[in-house]
Structure 1
């Protein structure tokens, strides 16, 4: 973190810092102090049952180590970077906060087919997406009727009718073990 603050991030809005080292260390200490990632030690639930739930309901799109899909974020280290509460919200209401690279897009072809997926690359003339089956597809925009940029996630909401509170606790307990 110190080096990132000191050197900045090339190609981003974050410039290098000319602050003395002791001030940068103070910033690092402050940022670590306000970290919202809380430990998972107090979790309820069974991690083995949670793993089974992950494999049956999540692994189509999410990867842990070498198992699973790649349409959604890799969860191999999720317990290091997300709190239990934030994961709970992300599962129950995934569209409440969606990173830009995981926002859905729908392409409408000239023959009225709808293809939904995630943008992998785009310029003024073409768009490449990974569809919901993780197939990479490329189109020139002139071949499409419409490109619909959504604010939503491709991930469905997992309300209590789809994932019980007990199953959610089990899943969260399993995810809490994933520290890379």
Structure 2
């Protein structure tokens, strides 16, 4: 699906800052409708309210809105469905082109380079992918792209930290010591949080990596992207 031109990054950020109530189904449905036509960058902002929820609350939302499952947790503990989806998409993919795939990786359409780097180019929020082609095959890459919530790499987990004053921060722990935890998020914000001020810290079941990239990219772009990632050795 195409990105919604009327939905800018600022609008997505505004929606992302709302306080989500799990029993307000209209509110959740409206966010889902917006998610359906959002770009990967917009999706990351729009999913922010869900990242502050625990697994129980997310399960409650999924029960009342089945459509949102694929965005919140595409594995849904159903390996059979996941396998079918992988096989279905893989069967429609053509032969990838490495140079075109490199262009896809560094494009605003995929937004891969916002978080991932290859040979020193790109972001450092997610894992470095420079050598990943040596240990991952086509199916591994496809699964990671389609189901990021079920293939989170150790060290790239998204955490939710609530302070004693009631503030909530989400992001990846970049480093920590005996006094501070240093969080980084998609807005390029680095936050140092004193351990003495932390009320609760929990891992979010939702990855910072956006789902639905297979809807943003066409099959050829997806094939090219994976061919490029496989060439990184």
Short-chain TM bin: 0.5 to 0.7
Alpha-carbon offset, residue 125 of structure 1: 5.6
Structure 1 position 73, deviation (Å) = 0.9
Q: What CA distance in whole angstroms lies between the structure 1 residues aligned with 2:114 and 2:188?
A: 10
Task: Calculate the aligned-residue CA RMSD, in Å.
Answer: 2.3
Q: Number of residue pairs matched?
A: 137
Q: 2:96 maps to which residue?
A: 45
Q: Secondary structure of the residue that 1:59 maps to in structure 2? A: helix
Q: 2:176 matched to 1:87?
A: no
- Give the C-alpha shift of residue 52 in structure 1: 1.3
Conserved? CA contact 1:107–1:144, under 8 Å: yes
Runs of 4+ that moved beyond 6 A: none
Residue 128 (structure 2) pairs with residue 128 (structure 1): no
Contact 2:159/2:203 (8 A) holds in 1? yes
Residues 1:70 and 1:116: Cα distance change in structure 2 (over 3 Å): same
**2:182–2:192: 8 Å Cα contact kept in structure 1?**
yes
SS at match of 2:205: strand
**Larger Rg, first or second structure (1 or 2):** 1
Match of 1:54 in 2: 105
Partner SS state of residue 160, structure 1: helix
Mapped to 2, the partners of 1:109 and 1:131 lie a distance apart of 17
C-alpha contact (below 8 Å) 1:115/1:131 kept by paired residues? no
TM-score by length of 2: 0.52
Confirm or deny that 1:71 pairs with 2:125.
Answer: yes
**2:168 counterpart of 1:168:** no
8 Å CA contact 2:145–2:214 kept in 1: the answer is no
Q: Could you tell me whether the CA contact under 8 Å between 2:164 and 2:197 is conserved in 1?
A: yes
Q: Which moved more, 1:92-101 or 1:107-116?
A: 107-116
Structure 2's unaligned 5+ residue stretches are 1-93
Q: Equivalents in 1 of 2:190, 2:213: separation in Å?
A: 30
Report the Cα distance in structure 1 between the residues aligned to 2:212 and 2:102, rounded to whole angstroms: 16
Local SS of the residue matching 2:139? helix
TM-score by structure 1 length? Answer: 0.66
Q: Name the one with the larger strand percent.
A: 1
Deviation at 1:112, TM superposition (A): 4.8
* 1:156-180 deviations in Å (ceiling 9; x for gaps): 113432222221101011112211x
Higher helix share: 2
Q: Quick one: which of 199, 208, 227 aligns to 1:154?
A: 208
